[in-house]
């Protein structure tokens, strides 16, 4: 089929229009396109795109776009949705974020985090993070397994141990990075979700603080080594006494040890006299 028509000039124009027959304004009414084919035996519905009314309120024009596909031996099911606010849900209905994914997600290049605009020209009230070691010391990093109830609601959650923080505990340290989301587990109300990005930034700041501590300790060690070297050189210059017998042949270290013993003994005698 070839559809020919004027180029679209507004968001309401198009060469092809598909319209549903419902006139009630009920939720989930609208139109769709289904894609069919043959599996070698019979004709099949492979999937489709539907645009449906998002509200049952009369006159409300909000709409959702839904994409469906099917697995072998199964009926077509929703795989992705773009809601009336532009939020995208893959495998789930988006609730809060611009992109929400049910299960795991990855990208093929770059680091483990999404790139974000961090130009100095868009920032104000810039402050260096300090006290990072103490901040991180307040946190508990855990390993855990998801409950059977949660795994039943989210089949992509594997039967293995995961690593993360506990949202309730994380909120005590980084309250601005904990929020809630509904619909994650029926009957449980809103569940807490965390943005663990502060751990990356504070870990860098903590390493910088540790580096300063190491530099201070290095300076102290260097100073102590210099004092020890000066003391050894001073002891080595002490001339042996002719009446010392074999002591005159002792090493400077042994002579210093004897000197320390003599001083301690002399102090003991003075203490006894008193």
What is each CA distance from 236 to 11, 223, 242, in whole angstroms? Answer: 94, 20, 16
Distance, first Cα to last Cα, the chain: 118
From CA 206, how far away is CA 136, in angstroms rounded? 8
Separation CA 136–CA 209 (nearest Å): 12
pLDDT for the residue 247: 47
pLDDT, position 1: 78
Label the pairing between strands 99-101 and 88-90: parallel
What integer pLDDT is reported at residue 274 of this predicted model? 44
**CATH number of this structure's domain 129-241:** 1.10.10
3-state SS assignment for residue 245: helix
- Report d(CA 236, CA 251) in Å as an integer: 8
Between CA 256 and CA 120 the distance in angstroms is: 62
Q: Are 161 and 191 in contact (CB under 8 A)?
A: no
Residues forming CATH 1.10.10 domain(s) in the chain = 129-241
Report helix angle 197-236 to 252-273, nearest 10: 90
DSSP 23: -
Q: How would you write the pLDDT of the chain (274 residues) with one tens digit per residue?
A: 788 888 888 887 888 889 999 999 999 999 999 999 999 999 999 999 999 999 999 999 999 999 999 999 899 999 999 999 999 999 999 988 899 998 878 777 766 677 788 999 999 999 999 999 999 999 999 999 999 999 998 888 899 999 999 999 999 999 999 999 887 888 888 899 999 999 999 999 999 999 999 999 999 999 999 999 988 888 877 655 555 555 444 455 555 555 555 555 555 555 554 4
Rounded Cα gap, residues 218 and 220, in angstroms? 5
d(CA 226, CA 242): 32
Please give the pLDDT value at position 31: 95
Q: Give the contacts of 29 (CB within 8 A, at least 6 positions apart).
A: 20, 22, 52, 53
C-alpha 162 chain-centroid distance = 13
Alpha-carbon dihedral of residues 244, 245, 247, 249, nearest 10 degrees?
120
């Amino acid at each position: 089929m070839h559809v020919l028509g004027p180029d679209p000039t507004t968001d309401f124009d198009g060469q092809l229009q598909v319209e549903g027959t419902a006139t009630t304004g009920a939720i989930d009414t609208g139109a769709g396109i289904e894609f069919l084919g043959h599996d070698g035996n019979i004709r099949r519905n492979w999937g489709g795109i539907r645009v449906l009314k998002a509200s049952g309120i009369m006159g409300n024009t909000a709409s959702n776009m839904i994409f469906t596909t099917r697995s072998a031996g199964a009926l077509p099911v929703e795989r992705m949705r773009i809601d009336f606010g532009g939020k995208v849900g893959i495998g789930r209905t988006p609730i809060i974020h611009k992109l929400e994914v049910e299960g795991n997600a990855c990208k093929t290049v770059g680091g483990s985090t999404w790139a974000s605009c961090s130009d100095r020209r868009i920032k104000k009230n810039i402050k260096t993070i300090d006290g990072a070691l103490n901040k991180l010391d307040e946190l508990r990093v855990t390993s855990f397994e998801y409950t059977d109830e949660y795994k039943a609601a989210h089949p992509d959650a594997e039967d293995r141990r995961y690593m993360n923080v506990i949202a309730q505990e994380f909120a005590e340290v980084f309250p601005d990075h904990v929020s809630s989301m509904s619909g994650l587990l029926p009957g449980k109300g809103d569940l807490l979700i965390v943005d663990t990005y502060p751990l990356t930034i504070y870990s860098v700041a903590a390493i910088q603080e540790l580096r300063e501590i190491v530099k201070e300790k290095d300076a102290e060690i260097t100073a102590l080594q210099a004092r020890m070297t000066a003391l050894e050189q001073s002891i080595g210059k002490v001339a042996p006494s002719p009446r010392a017998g074999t002591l005159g042949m002792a090493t400077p270290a042994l002579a210093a040890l004897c000197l320390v013993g003599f001083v301690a003994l002399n102090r003991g005698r003075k203490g006894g006299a008193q």
